Structure 1
Amino acid sequence: MASSNNPAKPVHILFVGAGAVGCFYASRLHHPSQNVYASLIARSNYKAIIAAGGKVELQTHSFGNYTFAPYAVFPNIDAAVPSASSSSSGPEAAVGGEKSAGTGTPPSEGWDYIIVTTKALPDRTDDAAMVAPLVSEKSCLVLIQNGVGVEAPYRARFPRNPIVSAVTVISAEQIRNGVVRQNRWTRISLGPYGHGLGAPPGVGDQAGEEPVARLGDERMRALARWWTALGGIRDVETHSELELQTIRWHKLCINAAFNPTAVLSGGRGNADQLTDPELREHVLGIMHEIRDAAPLVLGKPLPDTLASPEKIVKSTERNTGGRPSMLLDWEAGRPMEIEVILGNPVRIARAKGVQMPRLQSLYACLRSMQRMREEREEREKGKGKL
């Protein structure tokens, strides 16, 4: 007999993005003996995972070292699209998937959960459109992405599918393709996403049908149970929609302060920024601007339990050597998460009549830096063709 932690029917969970975060959280969900199967869409590390027999090596602070053999590993979206010719989604298929060196086949009944862990770059890609071929009526979308406003494009494209929004606090890195190291923390906060906090009650819901927010809450709680009872993660938190959005805005105090400053200061890490008195004042100013704006945007004061800017700074001082992801992207010539970390909060606040001049300045400067570099690279490519 199935328990609440052991579903009667196979549950298939697809992670779109097989970086450090995706691989770690997928590995804590994959329990074939309990009817829960996790699969990966890998891009740059696909060949390395397949070469390792369809397995990912994990070196973790919280659970020791182990290997994770997903139900299936796919090189792209198209390969993961279920079809009538897909194999059975039962335990036999899971074993078959592992025997085929991780290539596997999509479950014929479709994906129960589609968990997106890729960088949110709405100025470059339409991620909601990208995952659309994977989504069926039964699919729940889970967004483990930075910033605010990331859910809106998914809700617009999938008005009837449950959506779960997620915020992580984890220190993890892919030290080489197919090898993930988790250094500290495992906390993940989950909350259903209905139609946005500004939408009137009932928007998008049809008579006689269960509201998507309620469906999202149910799917969120099931996911949290599996991560906790099966995966052993102790700090999986479930929240209401407003609570989760509050957590997103609070995390901006870290991401929107340290990430852009690391790039604009010439490459200084988070703790290093705080050794400079002017940069320290700058970082605290950004955090306070966000903390002052958030209650006006959300319509509710921030809870006292959320760390103040001063506490965040004090904690950050101890984490020496950390280099934020935006800086790593800039140095590698990759697009930065400018829109969801800076542009979206500025626009969302502005729509509520709230100005965020510090964030707007960071947004304008970084967007210009990125555009100028890309235009320069295009000119250099053009010269090379002459």
Structure 2
Amino acid sequence: MGQQSGLSYAVIGTGAIGGFYGALLQRAGCEVHFLLRSDYEYVQQHGLVVNSVYGDFTLPEVNAYCDASAIPRCDVAIAAIKATQNHILEDILPRIVKPNGTILLLQNGIGVEPQLAKLLPDHYILSGLCFICSNKVGMGHVHHLDYGDITIGAYADRYAPAGITKEMEAIASDFNIAGVPAKLTENLQLARWRKLVWNIPFNGLSVVLDAKTDAMMANDATRQLSADLMNEVLAAAAACDCQIPTEFVPQMIDFTTKMQPYLTSMKLDYDHKRSLEIEAIYANPLRLAKERGVAMPKTEMLYQQLYFLDRLNSKSK
């Protein structure tokens, strides 16, 4: 299996994503520190429970914190919070990551890195695109239903291709040893557009239609609508010099058809009256497409519907 790199990790956002990957890293022998909010006392006393298609396991003892200042400086800070919460990172990250350390964003959408790069110019910023079906189902309890791959790329100004570095290779190796299929990309922008091919149709439609992935794939109309949205993403990506082959669309449809019935993270956020990640997943891609003269009419309509529902939801809290 190989030997862990010796890197220490801090996880910000111990939920469906951070809790899952952080727990796997700890189980594999990495030093991992978890920053929690509402789950802090429970996890401090009982640890983390992961039910997974990779195999169920429990970590009865974890390094749990409710105060970022108490976390020892780590080599890598994994930010697994929603992009809607990124304003808290300016205060948290300098406390927990070593000088010139690495920040690994596990977030959806596009355009989330530039602001962070301005706030923390001395840190190395990576992003990990997670292809995973995972939900937080209780205090310190994560249910991993399907998949789990990560594609990791480095951020450079204006998403210029940044190559593969030793830091990236070390982190990917730790994930692989932990049982997470991790691959590296020289082109983060392309990786983000490829992830949007799935996120744009299914996150939004799950909210608007109040449906899981299996129901959407079982209906001819929504199956076609999903493909239409995906093709709009391909056109926008191409205008941004990110070529995605047309066969990627039927591959993603097939991928979604075969996955376990899944309630997307955006749908769960909506049901729990949390803010939706519509800026990073919809508004930013729409803006980039418009700047390059590419229309995304169905994506724009979906964004407008989500914008309405998100504002209505926030008023009913």
Q: Which residue of 1 aligns with 2:42?
A: 48
Is 1:194 matched with 2:151? no
Equivalent position to 1:258, from 202, 205, 219: 202
TM-score, scaled relative to structure 1: 0.74
Q: Tell me by how many angstroms 1:136 deviates.
A: 4.3
Q: Which residue of 2 aligns with 1:239?
A: 185
Count of aligned pairs: 315
Is 1:140 matched with 2:102? yes
The verdict on how the C-alpha distance between 1:172 and 1:371 changes in structure 2, with shifts beyond 3 A counting, is: closer
Equivalent position to 1:367, from 307, 313, 316: 307
Q: Tell me by how many angstroms 1:320 deviates.
A: 5.6
Is 1:249 matched with 2:241? no
SS at match of 1:137: strand
Q: Tell me by how many angstroms 1:280 deviates.
A: 2.5
Q: Tell me by how many angstroms 1:37 deviates.
A: 0.8
Structure 1: which 5+ residue stretches go unaligned? 82-104, 200-212, 379-386
Structure 2: which 5+ residue stretches go unaligned? none
Structure 2 residue identity aligned to 1:66: T
Whole-angstrom CA distance in 1 between matches of 2:170 and 2:245: 26
Q: Which residue of 1 aligns with 2:71?
A: 106
Is 1:59 matched with 2:51? yes
Whole-angstrom CA distance in 1 between matches of 2:107 and 2:48: 22
Is 1:290 matched with 2:233? yes
Equivalent position to 2:82, from 119, 123, 137: 119
The verdict on how the C-alpha distance between 1:353 and 1:160 changes in structure 2, with shifts beyond 3 A counting, is: farther
* Native 8 Å contact 1:128 1:153 kept in 2: no
SS at match of 1:15: strand
* Native 8 Å contact 1:272 1:320 kept in 2: no
Q: Tell me by how many angstroms 1:68 deviates.
A: 5.7
Q: Which structure shows the bigger proportion of residues in helix conformation? A: 2
Superposed CA offset, 1:239-276 (max 9, x none): 11x1x3222211212111012112222x1222212333
* Native 8 Å contact 1:143 1:166 kept in 2: yes
SS at match of 1:126: helix
* Native 8 Å contact 1:61 1:182 kept in 2: yes
Is 1:131 matched with 2:127? no
* Native 8 Å contact 2:12 2:79 kept in 1: yes
Superposed CA offset, 1:260-302 (max 9, x none): 112222x1222212333332322211011101221211x1422
The verdict on how the C-alpha distance between 1:263 and 1:217 changes in structure 2, with shifts beyond 3 A counting, is: same
Equivalent position to 1:179, from 128, 141, 150: 141
* Native 8 Å contact 2:213 2:256 kept in 1: yes
Q: Which residue of 2 aligns with 1:99?
A: none
**Residues 186-225 of structure 1 correspond to what in structure 2 (within 5 A)?**
186-197=148-159, 213=162, 217-225=165-173
SS at match of 2:309: helix
**Residues 326-365 of structure 1 correspond to what in structure 2 (within 5 A)?**
326-365=266-305
Structure 2 residue identity aligned to 1:106: I
Higher alpha-carbon Rg: 1
The verdict on how the C-alpha distance between 1:132 and 1:320 changes in structure 2, with shifts beyond 3 A counting, is: closer
Q: Which residue of 2 aligns with 1:279?
A: 222
Whole-angstrom CA distance in 2 between matches of 1:289 and 1:119: 24
* Native 8 Å contact 1:260 1:326 kept in 2: yes
Whole-angstrom CA distance in 2 between matches of 1:337 and 1:162: 24
SS at match of 2:159: coil
Whole-angstrom CA distance in 1 between matches of 2:245 and 2:61: 41
SS at match of 1:30: helix
TM-score, scaled relative to structure 2: 0.89
Q: Tell me by how many angstroms 1:342 deviates.
A: 0.6
Equivalent position to 1:14, from 10, 14, 38: 10
Whole-angstrom CA distance in 2 between matches of 1:18 and 1:186: 16
Q: Tell me by how many angstroms 1:112 deviates.
A: 1.1
Whole-angstrom CA distance in 2 between matches of 1:17 and 1:221: 23
Q: Which residue of 1 aligns with 2:64?
A: 73
Whole-angstrom CA distance in 1 between matches of 2:89 and 2:39: 22
Q: Tell me by how many angstroms 1:219 deviates.
A: 1.6
The verdict on how the C-alpha distance between 1:311 and 1:106 changes in structure 2, with shifts beyond 3 A counting, is: closer
Q: Which residue of 1 aligns with 2:243?
A: 301
